[in-house]
């Protein structure tokens, strides 16, 4: 209730209808509520005050919200013993002990995973010894079994659940994660994968200058982060000879721009680069319900239109050389870049999204405490990274439901009262609504939400139109290259404005009726805003039709001009 009231206040919804509107929004399950299961090995704490733990991140996300998307977190502890469900765990304590991915709920029938939309894996096992890969599957390391992998894979594919996974240097985290489909191909988990060690010049030491020598004891918890290099996700011309580049939404802050910093550490893990990912792997379930590393199901399935899909590295880190730096762990070479964060958008292929991080030290209390205490833009960017992942990893429908609900509720507040004029064209109306969304999520997310909406409503339109403006995953586009500069290509913003404006126009009459009922204290007929959501398809079609007509008219004038030039 507090999240909804705060949002309505920010949108300047009039006092006369705000309380009743909040009650109605709760009744119709306004927005999207996301349940996240955080799975940890025993060595990683979820309790407050423990440096080697992740309670700061849990505290940030659990009970929090971004726009109309809210989150709750439960913890699953991978420990020995009999899997147990704790009905009312204390704050930060596990709801599940001896957690296994194939656990059943208290009814003995429903898979526990089906209660959640996302699973975040923080693995420690097998150990920190840097031993042989055979240690990964020893019984004491609690490796994910075939039955667990079968259950998790079905959830990722059928429920389209989102998975985040991370470990650290050497094979830390491999017992839980090294065979999870897609996860296993996006991050290095084993010695065979080429994991970086804890020591020697081959380690990945990202500590940044302070009082020498640079060491974890002094510098991993200070307020100096490491810079990261974000990659271009959306690239579009803003004029004939100018181009705008945007990072992936996971690295997009609504006010501060690209997220370009992370906590530092003396020995991190490593992801596979975009062109290193094995696309030829597949998996299957055996007749007995076990998991097989090969079979009929491709690791990265194509879209229904036959277009390939693959992961994308969205951030690279770098290391300083020694000399000239003075590192307590000894010399290392300066590396211009190494793959740090990788994502896979499986929604177009009708499976769940995946994200991996090179190290859980980007998430640990000990690495965050100094940054949080200092505050400022570095901490704001890093904390937004965690929240962005919680938004992005949600199954299909969650972000688009929020997009639609936002565009409806803004019509009840300041934007609708003062800015959404009846005289505006569809595209002008969308351009007016854009800043309202950008203030909540950031400009990258407007592109992501419109893209998601097109995936769900009209995959062919999305594939043939909007995807041309996004940087091809892996640099391999199925489409012929656009002319550079393209004198007749509509800007990406114009396409998005057409969709946003179409949604507002399609819902305006119903929202007006809804406002009158609310203002008069009358009961809202039917399900109110819930019924309005059904107009989404109509709005997108009308917006794109208006853009198409404008496009044709522009082409006609351009052709007439070119005719005189030839």
C-alpha Rg value of the chain to the nearest Å = 25
**DSSP state letters, 168-188:** -STTTTHHHHTTSTTHHHHB-
DSSP symbol at 134:
G
Phi, psi of 357 (to 5 degrees): -125, 145
In 419-541, DSSP assigns E strands to none
Three-class DSSP category at 483: coil
Helix-then-strand count for the chain, H and E: 17, 19
DSSP symbol at 490: P
Compute the distance between CA of residue 434 and CA of residue 441 in angstroms, rounded to an integer.
11
Helix (H) or strand (E) run with residue 230 in it: strand 229-230
Yes or no: say if 436 and 406 are a contact pair by the CB < 8 Å rule: yes
Angle between helices 492-519 and 536-565 (to 10 degrees): 150
For residue 195, which of 261, 264, 123 has the smallest C-alpha distance?
Answer: 123
Strands 354-357 and 162-166: parallel
pLDDT at 288: 65
- Model pTM above 0.85: yes
Residues composing the chain: 566
Sequence-distant (6+) residues with CB within 8 A of 538 are 506
CA triple 484-489-490, angle to 5 deg: 135
On whether the CB atoms of residues 543 and 503 are closer than 8 A, the answer is yes
Is there a contact between 459 and 303 (Cβ–Cβ < 8 Å)?
yes
In this structure, the number of other CB atoms found within 10 A of the CB of residue 282 comes to 15
CB atoms under 10 Å from CB of 19, counted, come to 13
Contact (Cβ atoms closer than 8 angstroms) between residue 353 and residue 249: no
| Among the listed residues 71, 67, 73, the one whose alpha carbon sits nearest the alpha carbon of residue 54 | 73
pLDDT tens for the chain, 566 residues long, are 567 777 778 777 877 777 777 777 776 666 789 999 999 999 999 999 999 999 999 999 999 989 889 999 999 999 999 999 999 999 999 999 999 999 999 999 999 999 999 999 999 999 999 999 999 999 999 999 999 999 999 999 999 999 999 999 999 999 999 999 999 999 999 999 999 999 999 999 999 988 889 999 999 999 999 999 999 887 766 655 667 788 999 999 999 999 999 999 999 999 999 999 999 899 887 766 677 777 788 999 988 878 788 999 999 999 999 989 999 999 999 999 999 999 999 998 999 999 999 999 999 999 999 999 999 999 999 999 999 999 999 999 898 888 888 888 888 888 888 888 888 999 999 999 998 888 888 889 988 888 888 878 776 666 666 666 665 544 455 566 667 677 777 788 888 899 999 999 988 888 887 777 777 766 555 445 566 667 777 888 888 888 888 888 888 888 888 777 76
pLDDT at residue number 43: 97
173/178 Cα distance (integer angstroms): 8
Joined together, the tokens standing for residue 433 give 């609504």
d(CA 172, CA 178): 10
Phi and psi at 34, nearest 5°, equal -110, 130
CA angle 534, 18, 417 (to 5 degrees): 70
pLDDT at 488: 75
Tokens of 55: 């309670």
Which tokens go with 243? 């181009």
Phi, psi values for residue 458, rounded to 5°: -155, 80
Q: Is 8 helix (H, G, I), strand (E, B) or coil?
A: helix
The two three-digit tokens of residue 420, written as one number: 């959404």
* Lookup result for tokens 């208290």: 106
Report the distance separating Cα 424 and Cα 171, nearest Å: 58
Within a 10 A sphere around the Cβ of 266, how many other Cβ atoms?
A: 23
* pLDDT in the model for residue 23: 75
Structure tokens at 410: 């803004």
Secondary structure of 65-103 as H, E, C letters: EECCEEEEEEEEEECCCCCEECCCCCCCCCCEECCCCCC
Residue pair 268/359 in contact (Cβ under 8 Å)? The answer is yes
Q: What are the backbone angles phi and psi of residue 467, rounded to the nearest 5°?
A: -65, -20
């Amino acid at each position: 209730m507090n999240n909804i009231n705060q949002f309505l206040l920010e949108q300047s919804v009039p006092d006369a209808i705000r309380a009743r509107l909040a009650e109605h929004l709760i009744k119709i399950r306004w927005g999207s509520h996301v349940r996240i299961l955080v799975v940890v090995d025993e060595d990683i704490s979820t309790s407050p005050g423990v440096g080697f733990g992740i309670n700061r991140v849990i505290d940030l996300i659990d009970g929090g919200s971004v726009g109309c998307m809210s989150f709750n977190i439960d913890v699953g502890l991978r420990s020995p013993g009999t899997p147990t469900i704790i009905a009312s765990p204390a704050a930060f304590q596990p709801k599940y002990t001896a957690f296994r991915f194939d656990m059943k709920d208290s009814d003995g029938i429903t898979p526990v995973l089906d209660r959640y939309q996302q699973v975040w894996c923080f693995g420690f096992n097998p150990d920190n010894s840097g031993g042989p890969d055979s240690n990964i599957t020893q019984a004491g390391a609690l490796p994910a079994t075939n039955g667990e992998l079968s259950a998790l894979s079905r959830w990722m594919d059928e429920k389209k659940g989102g998975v985040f996974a991370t470990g650290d240097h050497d094979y830390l985290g491999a017992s839980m994660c090294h065979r999870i489909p897609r996860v296993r191909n996006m991050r290095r988990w084993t010695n065979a994968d080429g994991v970086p060690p804890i020591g020697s010049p081959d380690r990945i030491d990202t500590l940044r200058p302070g009082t020498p020598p640079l060491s974890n004891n002094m510098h991993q918890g200070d307020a100096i982060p490491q810079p990261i290099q974000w990659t271009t996700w959306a690239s579009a011309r803003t004029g004939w000879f100018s181009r705008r580049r945007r990072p992936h939404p996971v690295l997009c802050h609504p006010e501060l721009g690209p997220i370009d910093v992370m906590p530092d550490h003396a020995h991190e893990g490593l992801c596979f680069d975009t062109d290193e990912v094995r696309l030829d792997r597949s998996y299957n379930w055996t007749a007995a319900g076990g998991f097989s590393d090969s079979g009929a199901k491709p690791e990265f399935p194509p879209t229904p239109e036959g277009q390939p899909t693959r992961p994308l590295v969205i951030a690279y880190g770098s290391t300083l050389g020694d000399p000239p730096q003075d590192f307590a762990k000894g010399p290392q070479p300066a590396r211009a870049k190494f793959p740090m964060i990788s994502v896979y958008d499986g929604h177009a292929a009708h499976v769940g999204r995946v994200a991996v991080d090179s190290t859980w030290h980007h998430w640990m209390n000990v690495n965050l405490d100094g940054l949080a205490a200092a505050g400022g833009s570095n901490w704001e960017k890093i904390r937004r990274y965690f929240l962005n992942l919680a938004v992005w990893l949600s199954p299909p429908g969650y972000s688009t439901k929020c997009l639609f609900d936002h565009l409806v509720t803004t019509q009840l507040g300041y934007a609708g009262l003062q800015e959404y004029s009846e005289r505006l064209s569809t595209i002008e109306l969308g351009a007016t609504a854009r800043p309202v969304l950008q203030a909540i999520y950031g400009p990258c997310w407007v592109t992501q939400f419109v893209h998601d909406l097109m995936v769900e409503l009209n995959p062919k339109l999305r594939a043939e139109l909007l995807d041309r403006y996004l940087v091809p995953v892996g640099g391999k586009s199925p489409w012929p290259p656009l002319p550079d500069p393209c004198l007749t290509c509509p800007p990406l913003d114009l396409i998005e404005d057409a969709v946003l404006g179409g949604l507002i126009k399609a819902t305006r009459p119903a929202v007006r009726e809804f406002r009158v009922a609310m203002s008069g204290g009358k009961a809202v007929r039917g399900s109110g805003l819930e019924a309005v959501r059904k107009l989404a398809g109509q709005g997108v079609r009308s917006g794109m039709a208006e853009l198409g007509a404008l496009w044709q008219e522009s082409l006609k004038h351009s052709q007439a001009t070119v005719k005189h030039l030839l």
